[in-house]
Amino acid sequence: MTVAGDLSKLGHDVTIFEALHRPAGVLSYGIPEFRLPRAIVKSEIEYIERLGVKFVYNVVVGVTVTLNELFDEGFNAIFIGTGAGLPKMLGVPGENLIGVFSSNEFLTRINLLGADRFPEYDTPVLHAKHTVVVGQHSYGLGARRKTFE
């Protein structure tokens, strides 16, 4: 969205192809409300729209439409913002069991699919008395862990 806004301010005609049915990807469905209020995200989306940026929803570029097809439609340049990507699983026994969620899946279920309001919405998350959260730090390419002795 930043690239779209900046290019629009420079006078370019910009269209965002969004894979989901709402704009802003992780800003909309991956960051909990208490960390980034939805009103702020909504305000930013409305600002981008006022700049003239168009949104096309439910389009997975590379699946629904190819890059060549976009060029054939008259687009001169394409910026590929891949978003958060797929989670990295730990490879431990049981990680595919019911009730085990990656952070991406859990946050998407809550923030986009209304899982916290089950049965009003059809995508539940389990409510458990005892819960484990496993975190894993990702280091950038070339980064090294520092050992303190």
Encode 88-113 in three state secondary structure: CCCCCCCCCCCCCCCHHHHHHHHHCC
Shared domain check, 56 and 118:
no
> At which of 21, 50, 72 does a domain end?
72
Q: Looking at the 3D structure of the chain, how many domains does it have? A: 2
Rounded to two decimals, the pTM is 0.70
Q: Is 125 within the bounds of a domain?
A: yes
> Are 47 and 5 within 8 A, CB to CB?
yes
- Rounded-to-integer distance, Cα 23 and Cα 56, Å: 9
pLDDT tens-digit readout, 83-125: 777 777 888 899 899 888 888 888 888 877 877 777 888 877 7
- Asked if pLDDT for residue 140 goes beyond 70, the answer is no
Could you say which DSSP state residue 122 is in? S
Q: What is the pLDDT of residue 87?
A: 78
Reported as a pLDDT band with limits 50, 70 and 90, residue 142 is very low
Contacts of 143 (CB under 8 A, 6+ apart): none
Confidence at 61, pLDDT banded by 50, 70, 90: very high
Check: CB of residue 10 under 8 Å from CB of residue 42.
no
pLDDT tens digits, residue range 6-60? 999 999 999 999 988 888 888 887 888 888 898 999 999 999 999 999 999 999 9
Say if residue 15 is in the same domain as residue 65: yes
Asked if residue 102 and residue 143 are part of one domain, the reply reads yes
Residue at a domain's end among 45, 72, 99: 72
Q: How far apart are CA 35 and CA 28, in angstroms?
A: 12
Diameter over CA atoms, the chain: 60
Q: Does any domain span residue 48?
A: yes
Amino acid identity, position 101: F
Amino acid 72: pLDDT: 97
Which range of residues forms the domain containing residue 124?
A: 86-149
Domain match, 22 and 68 both: yes
Q: Which two tokens stand for residue 108?
A: 């998407």
Interatomic CA distance for residues 106 and 124, integer angstroms:
10
Query: 137: pLDDT confidence band, cut at 50, 70 and 90?
Result: low
Residues 91 and 142 in one domain: yes
Domain C-terminal end among 72, 97, 121: 72
